[in-house]
Amino acid sequence: MNNHSQNLPTRISLLELAQSGKDHPAWEELLDYYRPFVRRILTRLGVSASDLDDACQLALMRLWRDLVNYRHQPNRARFRTWLSQLIHNTAMDWHRHQRRNNQTMSTETKELKQSLMCESDLEEQIEKEWRQHIVNLALERLKSVFSGDALDVFVRSVEGESAAQISKDLNIREESVYVLKHRVKKRLILEAFELRRELEFPDSTP
Amino acid sequence: MTNRSASRDPVERIERINPIVDDVFDQADPTKAYGQALESDDDICPLFCAITRIKSRYQEPELIGRGGMKEVYRVYDAKAARHAALAKPLPEFSRDQFDAFLREAHLTARLDHPNIIDLFDMGVDDEGRPFFTMELKQGRSLRGVLNSIKNGEQLGEFPLQRRLEIFQRVCDAIAYAHSRRILHLDIKPENIFVGDYGEVKVCDWGMGVVMAQEQGEHNSAVLLDPDLYGSLLDSAKGTPVYMAPEQKNKRQTKTPQMDIYAMGCLLRELLTLELPADGSDTDSNLDAALAATIGKATARIPSDRYQNVEELRNDVSRFLGGYSSSVERLSLRREAALFYRRHREACAIAFGSLAIFGICVAYFVIQLRLSRQQAVEALERSERAQAVAEQSQAEAVTSLAQYLAEKEESEKRQYQQVLSAIDLSDFVTDSKFLRDEALPSAIAHSMKHLESILIFDPPPDSKAWLQKYYLYFLTQNFDLALELVDQGKFIEPDLVLLADKYLELQDAEGHLDTDEFIALLRELCSPGPGLSRLRRGQLAEKMLIFDSLQRNAIADKVRVVQAWIEINNHKWQNPEMVYEANTETIRLRGKGLTRLARIFSGGGPANQKLCLVYILKPRVLDLREIEISRLSDLTGLELQELDIRQTPVTNLLPLQNNRSLRRVYIDPDQVSEFQLANLPESIEIVQESE
């Protein structure tokens, strides 16, 4: 994953690879990246923990099915809007399916309706979740690049701790604290950039 | 990522860095092409970035050498960040000669040995000309080393031992190359690099060839096919002096013996420091083993040379290790020399110990002889000394004897002088021969004589001092007498006590009164507490006489005489003594009066005793009825009449020579007729009974 920087401009993203065919091995990796995100959104949309695995599977199936079509209409909407609609629809369908199976759950339906009512709010929340998801993934990748101390330096400095304090606590020279902080942040942005490039279709609108 | 616990930490972290999530996410927007800037950021991987940016790898070329076919530059390898040697074909070379150049690089690359120069890189430069790079070390060629040794600059740094070690390194390299079927064919000091830290590297394999494949072996390196890599460059020549004779024939198949010949030449130059003169063997100065080794390596006929480099190397090793080489004719002396070389320390220690031992033995022997000689001399000396000593002892004894004899003589003389003085003193003061009046002058004379002796200061125990004391005592000069005592002379203690006692009792004129004088007489004659105490009768007698000259009162004299008689007759009862001054008659009565001479000895013989009544000088002595028996007691008296009736006297012989006696009264039949007949006619015998 880390050795692709040299031919970055011409490289095909993971998403694009997955689009090229439904049997492409890139799918597995792509879905691994999406699964935690989808699960979290579904939870927000009221899917119960017991149903989460199934609902997630359903959403990813749809993603797998619809992604090819998405390509044909590239500039229609932002990828995340498309994705959120997909997840939303999946959740809706899931709830409908649930209702059919269990007529008595009226209160639940009410809640569900409430939550589904504000779709614009949902998109905003999904955007927020996605941002966190990407940065989190990037942070996760940093674990294999930097030592725990380096990450701690970065996190502590983000929290506003002084370089002197960090230097003292972690037994690192103060100059090193500055360098590490800077490097980790640079690398974090780079990793986030990589992930976004792999997992997002570039939005047409700037 | 499905594992929640594994991502727990980052989840926490993501919450902690929440404030910058949007910022990070926005900066990572792929559409903004921000990634490009990120990739080129030197902060993350500055070295990598620097290397990717390098366009020209070899920089700052500096020509350091030029050979028959290539130029060598010192360059900076910007990618490896070090200096290296970069070889290029000579500028005049064209494409058809490039292969020969590259062949050297391939040969060198094939040889991986610490004593062979390492190839780093090879390629084609921007101008389309081949190049290769090799390691570059601080140091210089062996030629340079030999030249400076010849100039006498670094002989200390490169002794024979060190040069032979260099040769061994070269042997190692060539042996290795031969094992890889590669011949150098241009071995010479110019092509051997000697580093500042002992490295030895064989360089310049440009003349090298790959030996033809032998059957049964296969060579994986097709690139080194001898057909391809035969000496393509005929124009390049080996150094003539190092070149084997057969090598001059270009068509001759190349063999390891050519390298061995060159090695032999190299060994010779390392030893003699001179370029090998063609054909002439100038090995006379060399060690026999090494000369033989060189001779074998540089034999004219290849088959006479060493079969391989290892053999040559072994012989040199044996020389260094101190063994005879395989080509050497051996002698015992040679073996011994080699043995010494091999076991230099042990031999040195052994010989050193032996030498020290020998020196010690010699030293001790010499010392022994010296000390023996010294002992003999000392013995002689001591004998002589003893003889001298005996002689001088004898002399000393003789002289001592002489001295003693003289001393004895002188002492004897002195003693005799003393004795004679004492005798004289005694003699002159002897009362019997003196008239009363003469006594003081006799004493004075005696004193004078004594003084003349005492001038010589005889020892304090000398009798002379005692004699002087007697004289002082005699004359009652107690104070003068006691002065002698104070001077430490040996004086009889009883006399000292008496002198001390009666000095107190003397009156102002130095006289004792009658009673005191009598007391003194008594004390002189009384037996003292000690047995040794003398009854000093003679002294008392002399004092009595001397005193009588001083004492004028007749009554006192009578008392003194009576006391004196009593002293000598302690059994005298009812003593009665009458002195009639007008008739000068003494009448004695009473029992127990037996003697009229003093009974106490002292000084001279008994017959020198004076009669007790002497000082009264009686003319008539009436001894009737007293128990006196001997008339000899009357010595010193000048009697005219003597009455001895009723006395035990029977012997009248003592009166025989009496001149003064006129009349003797005796009882009838008191004396024999015979005696009466012998009496002088001047004496009238009156025999009448009362």
Structure tokens at B649: 């006297």
| B283 vs B498, higher pLDDT | B498
Residues B277, B247: contact at Cβ < 8 Å? no
Nearest-CB residue to B35 (from A139, A151, A193)? A193
Q: With contacts defined as CB-CB under 8 Å, which chain A residues touch B24?
A: 135, 138, 185, 188-189, 192
Which structural domain range is residue A150 located in?
8-199
> Is A205 domain-assigned?
no
Task: Calculate mean pLDDT across residues B15-40.
Answer: 70
pLDDT of residue A5: 40
- pLDDT at B337 exceeding the cut of 70: yes
CB-based contact B188:B239 (threshold 8 Å): yes
Instruction: Give the largest Cα separation in chain A, rounded.
Output: 66
pLDDT band per the 50, 70, 90 thresholds, residue B130: very high
Given a cut of 60, is residue B216 above it in pLDDT? no
Tokens, residue A162: 């002084």
Model pTM? Answer: 0.42
Q: What pLDDT does B237 receive? A: 53
Question: For the purposes of burial, counting CB atoms within 10 Å of the CB of A103, is it exposed (0-12), middle (13-18) or buried (19 or more)?
Answer: exposed
Write the CATH number for A165.
Answer: 1.10.1740.10
User: CA A90, CA B688: separation in Å to the nearest integer?
Assistant: 218
Interface contact A137-B1, CB threshold 8 A: yes
Query: Taking the domains of chain B in order of start, what are their residue ranges?
Result: 8-53, 140-339
Of residues B13, B19, B22, nearest to A139 (C-beta): B13
Do A155 and B12 meet the contact criterion of CB atoms below 8 Å apart? no
**Is A143 at the interface with chain B, CB within 8 A?**
yes
Average confidence (pLDDT) over B56-67: 86
pLDDT value of residue A31: 83
CA–CA gap between residue A164 and residue A159 (Å, rounded)? 14
Task: Note whether B555 and B549 are within 8 A (CB).
Answer: no
Euclidean distance between CA atoms B588 and B578, whole angstroms = 7
Considering B139-143, B252-256, B332-336, the range whose residues carry the highest mean pLDDT is: B139-143
- The CATH fold of domain B140-339: Transferase(Phosphotransferase); domain 1 (1.10.510)
The helix-helix angle for B256-272 and B160-179 (nearest 10°) equals 170
Q: Return the amino acid letter for A198.
A: E
Cβ–Cβ contact B7 with A under 8 A? yes
pLDDT at A174 over 60: yes
pLDDT band at B232 (very low <50, low <70, confident <90, very high): very low
Give the integer Cα–Cα distance in Å for A1 and A26.
12
Please report the pLDDT score of residue A179 as a whole number: 83
- Read off the tokens for B462: 């000398």
Q: Which residues of B touch A139 (CB under 8 A)?
A: 10, 13-14, 17
- What's the pLDDT at A204? 47
Number of domains in chain A: 1
DSSP state letters, A42-66: HHHTT--HHHHHHHHHHHHHHHHHH
Q: What is the share, in percent, of chain B residues with pLDDT greater than 70?
A: 84
pLDDT of B235 higher than 80: no
Residue A173 lies in a domain: yes
User: What is the separation of C-alpha B528 from the centre of its chain, rounded to a whole number of angstroms?
Assistant: 71
Q: Higher-confidence residue: B165 or B337?
A: B165
Question: What is the per-residue pLDDT across B603-631, written as a single tens digit (0 to 9) for each?
Answer: 444 455 678 887 788 888 888 888 887 78
Place of tokens 């949007």: B22
Mean pLDDT of A171-193: 84
Give the E-state strand segments of B190-299 in sequence order.
192-195, 200-202, 209-210
CA angle (B500 as vertex; B496, B502 as ends), nearest 5? 120
Among B624, B621, B623, B619, CA closest to B582: B619
The interface predicted TM-score (ipTM) is 0.74
Average pLDDT, chain B: 79
Q: Are B164 and B270 in contact (CB under 8 A)?
A: yes
- pLDDT, one tens digit per residue, over B413-426 is 777 777 777 776 67
Q: Specify the pLDDT at position B532.
A: 47
The mean pLDDT value for B7-26 works out to 71
Are A177 and A167 spatial neighbours (Cβ–Cβ below 8 Å)?
yes
CB pairs A-B closer than 8 Å: 98
| Alpha-carbon span A185 to A197, nearest angstrom | 18
**What's the pLDDT tens digit per position in A64-93?**
887 777 665 555 566 777 777 788 888 888
Within-domain flag for A16: yes
Type of residue at B362: A
Q: Which of B27-36, B391-400, B629-638 shows the lowest mean pLDDT across its residues?
A: B27-36
Extract the tokens encoding B382: 């001591």
What pLDDT was estimated at residue B366?
Answer: 92
A142 within domain boundaries: yes
Q: Is the pLDDT of residue B541 over 50?
A: yes
> Judged by CB atoms within 8 Å, which residues 388-427 of B form the interface with A?
none
The H helix count followed by the E strand count for chain B is: 21, 16
Average pLDDT in the B475-500 region?
Answer: 81
* HSE (side-chain half, CA atoms, 13 Å) at B24: 31
> Residue B548 pLDDT > 60, yes or no?
yes
Please name the helix (run of DSSP H) or strand (run of DSSP E) that holds residue B251, with its range, or none: none
**Burial track B562-583 (b if 16+ CB lie within 10 A, e otherwise):** bbbbbbbbeebeebebebeeee
User: Are B43 and A183 a contacting pair at CB < 8 A?
Assistant: yes
pLDDT at residue B175 tops 90: yes
pLDDT of residue B167: 92
* Burial classification of residue B506, based on how many CB atoms lie within 10 Å of its CB (0-12 exposed, 13-18 middle, 19 or more buried): middle
In a domain, A65, yes or no: yes
- Identify whether the C-beta of residue B639 lies closer than 8 Å to the C-beta of residue B618: yes
Pairing type for strands B641-643 and B620-622 reads parallel
